[in-house]
Every structure is written in structure tokens, then in C-alpha cells.
Amino acid sequence: MPTFRDLQAQANDPVNKAKALEAALQILRFHAVFNTEYHLVEDKIVEAEDAIDAIDANPNGVDQAMRADLSEFVLEQQGRLDLLDAKLRAFEASDLNIRPPTKEMVAQVKKETALVAALQVKGGALSAIIKGLTEIAQIADKSGKSHP
């Protein structure tokens, strides 16, 4: 793969329009794949942070293990964003030959997306169970008080 500067030079070639178009498309494809992965990671961070907020807001207590798992996931993904930023800046600012994110990398992000979704489902199920147990306890407490 040519460097970003090579592609820019080729894209600005006034003589060979076909080569210029292909170079411009390569730059566009690189940014499209990069942006897809970047925004997917950002979305997963937001979803995980929302799940953490929901866990923290649980009136029946905080599931520390789930909160820790989600917090770790957020930190990992923020690190991933930092690496993606650095990769793009390096590609655009130098003669480095850097390839776009691979299909495998995008698949890994999707796999991690499924993990967040599973944790959210688990968190919702636990909240529902705790809510149900609390309601049962309140009913039992009321019926115990009504009988001397």
C-alpha cells in the first residue's frame, strides 16, 4: 500500500484521471473503515457507560463485579480510541505505510459489542430479580405487621 502522501500526490495527478480517482478512492476507503471502527468503539463506550450509570442508580445496591467489568471494558476501549487516533495521525502526517483496520479487527469490535450487550441484559435481569424480591419482602413485611 502506498503512503498517504503518495496517495495524495496520485489523487492530484492532472494527467492520469483514472489513477487520480483510484488514489482518492483508496484514501476514502481508508477513512471509511477507520471511521466505522472508531465510531463503533465510541458507541460501545457510551453503551457501557450507560450500563454503569444504571448499575450505580440501582436502589437495591450496586453490583460491584459487573460495574468493574464494564469499567475495565470502557478503559480498554478508550485506549483503543487513543491508538486509532495515533494511527490516523501517523498515517496522514508522515510517510508511514499504515494499513486500515482489518476485517478481523472490526469483527473483534463486534464481538466486544456482544459482550457489552450480554452484560447489559444480565444487569437488567439482576435488577428485575432484585426488584421482585424487594416487592415480595415488602408484601411479607406488610402482612406480618397486619397480624398481631
Helices and strands counted in the chain (H then E): 4, 0
Cα–Cα distance measured from residue 80 to residue 86, given in angstroms and rounded to the nearest whole number? 10
Q: Which three cell numbers stand for residue 101?
A: 483496520
pLDDT of residue 144: 67
- How confident is the model over 113-137, as a mean pLDDT? 76
> CB under 8 Å to 102, separation ≥6 — which residues?
none
Whether the predicted pLDDT of 147 surpasses 60? no
Torsion of CA 111, 114, 120, 122, to 10 degrees: -100
| 23, burial (CB in 10 Å: exposed 0-12, middle 13-18, buried 19+) | buried
Tell me which residue has cell 405487621: 145
Whether the predicted pLDDT of 103 surpasses 60? yes
User: How does pLDDT run across 17-51, given as a tens digit for each residue?
Assistant: 898 888 888 888 888 888 888 888 899 899 989 98
Whether the predicted pLDDT of 110 surpasses 80? no
CB 84 within 8 A of CB 41: yes
| Local structure of residue 133 (DSSP, 8 states) | H
**Per-residue pLDDT band at 146 (split at 50, 70, 90):** low
pLDDT of residue 66: 85
pTM: 0.55
pLDDT of residue 29: 82
**Per-residue pLDDT band at 99 (split at 50, 70, 90):** low
pLDDT of residue 49: 92
Q: Which three cell numbers stand for residue 67?
A: 460495574
Coarse DSSP helix, strand, coil percentages of the chain, rounded to the nearest 5 percent: 80, 0, 20
User: How does pLDDT run across 64-85, given as a tens digit for each residue?
Assistant: 888 888 899 899 999 989 988 8
